[in-house]
Structure 1
Amino acid sequence: MIVGTAGHIDHGKSALVRALTGIEPDRLAQEKSRGISIELGFAYRTFPNGKRIGFVDVPGHERFIHTMLAGAASIDFALLIIAADDGVMPQTREHLAILQLLGLRHGLVVISKADLADDERLLAVEIEIEGLLAGTLLEGAEVLAVSSLTGQGMAELEHRLMQAAEMMGLRNASGLFRLSVDRAFTLSGAGTVVTGSVLSGQAEIGDMVRISPSGLTGRIRSIHAQNEKAERTHAGDRCALNLVGDGIGRNTIARGDMVIDPLLHAPTTRIDAELDILATEPQPISQWFPVHLHHTANQIPARIVLLSDEPIQPGYKKIVQLVLERPIAASVGDRFVIRDTSARRTIGGGRFLDLKAPARRRRSPERQAQLAALSATDPAIVLATLLGTSPFWIDFDQFAKDRALGPNERARLAETVILIPPENGTIAIAPPRWLRLRQRILADLEAYHIENPDQPGIGLERLRIAGEIKPPAPIFRLILQGLQRQGKISLDGAWVRLPGHAVQFAEEDEPIWNQIWPHLVGAERFRPPRTRDFSTMTGLSEQKMRDLLKKSARMGLVHEVAHDSFFARSVLADIVKIMRDITSTRPKGEFIAADLRDRLDNGRKVSIEILEFFDRHGVTIRRGDLRRLNPHRLDLFGAP
């Protein structure tokens, strides 16, 4: 368990930690000479019940509130310390407000310097404390009067801390590893060492980690957890990690960085969050309000983007978007505090809801419904609610990473949804909507065939956007391929149809089609006759021949590459294979029209017409005279 002190300057926080642990938390010479805490101080003690408790001694001076925030963000249990002679002071109130904003629910109040007050004074301070805690998360917390000098009340305080450690137990270590860095330094013979608090998961010696937001990769050489050598560390520990790796050094790791599981590296500068404004704030929060955002040991300039027209009044809570000046590594559910740009007052705080906040349509009804779903704290409830709001699917992999969910938690959530593809769960859909999506696809195909009997099927993209659930195009193709394997549908490139559907030529058209088809797929296939040539060849009028070829295009047999120039679908698939063969030998995968002309031996004009046709359909991407293939569209004219 990590215990954090909070309270006004010179109210005896460091003295209390020293009395509890026998360790001097004021480690800097400047701190000792000035008699105040400037940096975070840490001390540890193993209590008689076997529980090892770490103490974070945070500075009480108003100039060092940002340092206090770095320590308060990682504590499990708070000791709000109020001196008997002074009573409640300005930083007492601000520290309590910060503990409230960070959602800390466990703690007690210590009246320090009890040897300087009589019973009447202690009673007066207790009454003052009762009023201070009213309406806060620490309302009703136990109040103990102690003296670090005489030992009064210290045995009772130790007993309460042991009880708290027993009740709290270990934090859940099933998530992915995250450590918030508050210090980086170099040790002779060891190399780079970072210290901080483990926010989630666990790590062992030899594990690979990432430094975020920089992205550096390192390996854990050794671990000190709770000030002792250890093989592993887990959520709730104060620990030091000895890291090795290319680029890893004291100057490349900064206070506020995160040491994380490599899967979690995804820095962000735009976050949707729940923001609670303190009632003491003198003015409403307006659009693009500038603040300093404090997240773990990080302090970042940011602006508040309102998601409604009305300013946020003091004492109210709303969902906002935070736009940060530089990227941070965070997790959904992390708590934060905002202070004014002059660092003189705390404005409010809250928790992160979405690390991939959109820059556009952030006020749309659809987005507001999503944010309402994201406001829940239980990932299972968030997932279920999100899948009930538009667009009715989510990126499941991203959902798990944003919350640092471990394999067991991810597997538990995966059992409640349909994952596509099943192997890695790129997206998730609620089972009832998955059934509805399948039924809609088949119903739409049946209706389309009735209304368009001479069409070979419906276009894949048209079918994708027809319903309320519109999965990403690659995922939708996977869904259709699954239905095809089950015999429910048939896929023909970009066309989708029911297995029993087939477009037939009229009886009088069959002999003519049989006459021209060999020219479309034979030796002339890369430069087939045009409509006028087929008309002359068969004796059919040019307009009727054009109508016949256009009907065959609707049947999916041919495509009109240029005006009156029709190519068999299978030939276009062969040309795609040839282009892939050409690009496979090019370092950048680029080619020019002459490369295709030489392979097809069909002349520059026809090759240009073919390439412009592929350009229009996104199979090729043109930049000047150069073209390259779009890997996501290569199956448009062939078998998926």
Structure 2
Amino acid sequence: MNDTYFTIGMAGHIDHGKTSLTKALSHVDTDRLKEEKERNISIELGYAPLQIEEGINISIVDVPGHERFIRQMIAGVAGIDLVVLVIAADEGVMPQTKEHLEILEFLGIEHCIVAISKIDRVDEELLELVTEDIKDGLKGTIFHDDPFVYVDSLSGRGLDHMRQTIVSQLKTVESRDAYGSFRLPVDQVFTVQGQGTIVRGTIYEGIVEKGSQLRLLPNGNKVKARQIQVHHKEQDRALAGQRTAINLGGVDTEEVSRGDVLVASDHFLVTDLIDVSLQFVESLSIPIKQRQPVRIHVGTSEVMGKIVFFDRNEVKQEKEEVLCQVKLEENVVVRRGDRFIIRRPTPVETLGGGWVIQPKGGKYRFGQETIEMLQQKKESTPEDLLEDVLSRHMILDVQQLIQYTSLDEHILESAVTKGMEQGYVLEVSRRKYSLMKIFIKLKDEITSQLQSYHHDFPMRLGISKAELVQSFGEVYPKSLIEYSINALVEQEELRKEGQFISGASFQPHLPEKWKQRMVEVINSLKKDGLAVKKWDEYLMNTAIPKNECSEMPFFLIQTNQAYRLTDELLIHRTAVDESASILMEETGDTFSLKEAKDALNISRKYLIPFLELLDQLTYTVRLDDKRKWKSKELNDSTS
């Protein structure tokens, strides 16, 4: 059997026996501070290991019960798997008990044991009355069917039953994800002389190993796990569900505070604007107004913020969930699904709680449209979330997808695999993804742009790839554009010749309107053989527009109908072929400039550029003052 790790919390009203029960079960006194001893109340969180059954490893968190220490209580229960709600038999349900119950429900704690403590102080009749009172207090809560245990920490009565109940309840709890990205919200920071900075917390997910390179959020400091302890015992690693102390290298104690989050990857977002699903307590003493200042407790963080409503301007009494935003004054680290509590700063009271729909909220308009959007996000499956973030960002790698969806890495990769199998997710490059619908949209836009380009410039081979990529660069990521172009070429929907991209069926051609006049110009060029005029002279008095005139040389060259003899002279391919054939017949394997002039009977004005052209076409190679035929046959360069 693999070991499992759980954290249970002792919660309840002040002086109802939480610390005593913890000590009776674990033999550890969790009141550490002198002030706690003197006043007989818990101020800071207390922790103790509990080993009841082989393979089940438990950390007990003894959370403060006094109203003034409620923030420590929230930080303590944020990472627990099971709560033990301690209620003294001689006092019953107290106001603090009710507030703790509300907080536990808002934090999504689903498993509870009701421990009725100090039973030796009351008789059977009073115990029955207290039990009924507690059952009435639990009606309508998620804990109404949870087990009751009767204990007395001093005499030891009921402790065995308590241990058995803890084990049976924990066996119904799903263990935390040890395979996710490591995350430990810090709830205690201190220093030990000679060792430096030490942080404590409950590992929410993942594994940390001795020597691991970590990052402390939200400030982003890089740190190293120099030493790991679990309940004062040094370990090589610690994993999800364990209460852990880590000696950090690379950071001073003053740079770390409660609420910071220790992580091992870049999968976590730092944010100050969260979309949330919020539920309020049954009775609010004062209505909550639009942009009401609140104190939000999430993980071990405690941050001021403002509530932003989109379908109302205040809440007086509301049983249903409210979809809204919390705008924070400081950055926090949260993932989708994380639970939180909101409290009024003054007068101090718990207002409600809920869960994070989206860690990185946006700016939305007031109105039903925003509510419908948030409702859709709230109900989204992992596949829906994947499609949503890809729709907004177009192309993301795995790390970015984890950040924006706030999904566990394994759940995210499963959604990606499913999306690829069903054909709506594309792997654009290694572990970078987009949506098929975006690719299809971009494909249609590329095709449409090429059609327009071919219409405007029918004599060109196509548009250069760089120009095509740049033309879509303001709307689409460059890597997605290049992927789409390459994919369309592979699918033979586009054609690529050198740097030019064109439609698959497109062929450069003369514009229909000027075709007849352009053909006449080309025939004149052909007729003149090697003794051509300046190109501009062929176009004089033709009425062909200037822009079309400037396109023609490139068209003739790119379609192998002509070659550039000089900057001002163009020569028809036929003239090159015929002149090269004559020269071959009239000369041997090598020939001189004079022999070429005698064979072709042209001036040096044309002869020198023509011979250099033969070199470019690889018919000939120059050897000092002579040229040598590379082949006595016309090669493929003019075919």
TM-score by length of 2: 0.74
2:190–2:198 Cα contact (<8 Å) kept: yes
The answer to whether 1:346 aligns with 2:350 is: yes
Change (3 A) 1:87 1:213: same
Cα distance, 1:477 vs structure 2: 3.5
Counterpart CA distance in 1 for 2:172 and 2:255 is 39
The answer to whether 1:82 aligns with 2:82 is: no
| Comparing 450-459 and 150-159, the one that deviates more | 450-459
Cα-Cα RMSD: 3.7
What do the CA deviations read for 1:430-454 (whole angstroms, capped 9, x no partner)?
A: x6x4685487468757986898795
Aligned with 1:416: secondary structure?
helix
2:451–2:503 Cα contact (<8 Å) kept: no
Which residue does the alignment assign to 1:216?
Answer: 221
Counterpart CA distance in 2 for 1:269 and 1:15 is 40
Which residue does the alignment assign to 2:116?
Answer: 111
392, 412, 432: which one pairs with 2:414? 412
Counterpart CA distance in 2 for 1:291 and 1:548 is 72
Counterpart CA distance in 1 for 2:366 and 2:426 is 27
Which residue does the alignment assign to 1:526?
Answer: none
Amino acid in the other structure paired with 1:292? R
Which residue does the alignment assign to 1:598?
Answer: none
Amino acid in the other structure paired with 1:60? G
Which residue does the alignment assign to 1:509?
Answer: 518
Change (3 A) 1:48 1:544: closer
Change (3 A) 1:34 1:493: farther
Counterpart CA distance in 1 for 2:449 and 2:536 is 35
1:6–1:81 Cα contact (<8 Å) kept: yes
Which residue does the alignment assign to 2:318?
Answer: 314
187, 210, 219: which one pairs with 1:182? 187
Which residue does the alignment assign to 1:303?
Answer: 306
Which residue does the alignment assign to 1:102?
Answer: 107
Counterpart CA distance in 1 for 2:32 and 2:522 is 92
Counterpart CA distance in 2 for 1:139 and 1:515 is 100
Which residue does the alignment assign to 1:149?
Answer: 154
Amino acid in the other structure paired with 2:401? F
The answer to whether 1:240 aligns with 2:245 is: yes
Counterpart CA distance in 1 for 2:144 and 2:278 is 21
Amino acid in the other structure paired with 1:218? V
Which residue does the alignment assign to 1:130?
Answer: 135
Counterpart CA distance in 2 for 1:76 and 1:337 is 17
| Aligned residue pairs, count | 530
Structure 1: give runs of 5+ residues left out of the alignment.
Answer: 517-532, 558-640
Cα distance, 1:275 vs structure 2: 1.3
Cα distance, 1:128 vs structure 2: 2.1
Amino acid in the other structure paired with 1:91? Q
- For 1:341-420, list aligned pairs within 5 A: 341-342=345-346, 344-359=348-363, 365=369, 370-376=373-379, 379-380=382-383, 382-383=385-386, 386=388, 395=396, 397=398, 398-402=400-404, 408-418=410-420, 420=426
Change (3 A) 1:504 1:187: same
Change (3 A) 1:405 1:321: closer
2:8–2:84 Cα contact (<8 Å) kept: yes
Cα distance, 1:284 vs structure 2: 4.1
Amino acid in the other structure paired with 1:415? T
- For 1:66-81, list aligned pairs within 5 A: 66-81=71-86
Which residue does the alignment assign to 1:428?
Answer: 434
| Comparing 279-288 and 205-214, the one that deviates more | 279-288
Cα distance, 1:405 vs structure 2: 5.2
1:339–1:348 Cα contact (<8 Å) kept: yes
- For 1:284-295, list aligned pairs within 5 A: 284-295=287-298
Counterpart CA distance in 1 for 2:282 and 2:396 is 38
Which one has a bigger Cα radius of gyration? 2
Aligned with 2:30: secondary structure?
coil
Which residue does the alignment assign to 2:637?
Answer: none
Which residue does the alignment assign to 1:600?
Answer: none
Cα distance, 1:155 vs structure 2: 1.2
Aligned with 1:91: secondary structure?
helix
What do the CA deviations read for 1:504-535 (whole angstroms, capped 9, x no partner)?
A: 2224236769999xxxxxxxxxxxxxxxx997
Aligned with 2:154: secondary structure?
coil
Counterpart CA distance in 2 for 1:330 and 1:321 is 14
The answer to whether 1:272 aligns with 2:281 is: no
Amino acid in the other structure paired with 1:102? L
1:279–1:316 Cα contact (<8 Å) kept: no
Change (3 A) 1:308 1:540: farther
Cα distance, 1:287 vs structure 2: 2.0
260, 265, 275: which one pairs with 1:262? 265
Amino acid in the other structure paired with 1:151? G
Amino acid in the other structure paired with 1:94? E
Change (3 A) 1:449 1:377: closer
Counterpart CA distance in 2 for 1:242 and 1:511 is 87
| Comparing 444-453 and 152-161, the one that deviates more | 444-453
The answer to whether 1:7 aligns with 2:12 is: yes
What do the CA deviations read for 1:537-560 (whole angstroms, capped 9, x no partner)?
A: 8424788224655899999x9xxx
Aligned with 1:351: secondary structure?
strand
The answer to whether 1:539 aligns with 2:543 is: no
Amino acid in the other structure paired with 1:359? K
2:383–2:419 Cα contact (<8 Å) kept: no
What do the CA deviations read for 1:298-319 (whole angstroms, capped 9, x no partner)?
A: 1111011112345344323122
1:81–1:111 Cα contact (<8 Å) kept: yes
Amino acid in the other structure paired with 1:231? D
Amino acid in the other structure paired with 1:508? R
Cα distance, 1:235 vs structure 2: 1.0
Amino acid in the other structure paired with 1:316? E
1:441–1:463 Cα contact (<8 Å) kept: no
230, 238, 241: which one pairs with 1:225? 230
TM-score by length of 1: 0.74
Which residue does the alignment assign to 2:599?
Answer: none
What do the CA deviations read for 1:60-106 (whole angstroms, capped 9, x no partner)?
A: 11111111000010111001111112111111111110000001101
Aligned with 1:131: secondary structure?
helix
Which residue does the alignment assign to 1:251?
Answer: 254
Amino acid in the other structure paired with 1:428? S
Counterpart CA distance in 2 for 1:105 and 1:16 is 21
What do the CA deviations read for 1:24-83 (whole angstroms, capped 9, x no partner)?
A: 111110011011111101111211444221111111111111110000101110011111
Amino acid in the other structure paired with 2:28? I
Cα distance, 1:257 vs structure 2: 0.3
1:445–1:498 Cα contact (<8 Å) kept: no
Cα distance, 1:370 vs structure 2: 4.9
2:281–2:352 Cα contact (<8 Å) kept: yes
Aligned with 2:172: secondary structure?
helix
Change (3 A) 1:420 1:249: farther
Cα distance, 1:404 vs structure 2: 6.2
Change (3 A) 1:172 1:417: same
Counterpart CA distance in 2 for 1:410 and 1:139 is 35
Aligned with 1:129: secondary structure?
helix
| Comparing 406-415 and 29-38, the one that deviates more | 406-415
Amino acid in the other structure paired with 1:321? Q
2:469–2:482 Cα contact (<8 Å) kept: no
1:98–1:337 Cα contact (<8 Å) kept: yes
Change (3 A) 1:500 1:90: same
Counterpart CA distance in 1 for 2:208 and 2:552 is 65
Aligned with 1:509: secondary structure?
helix
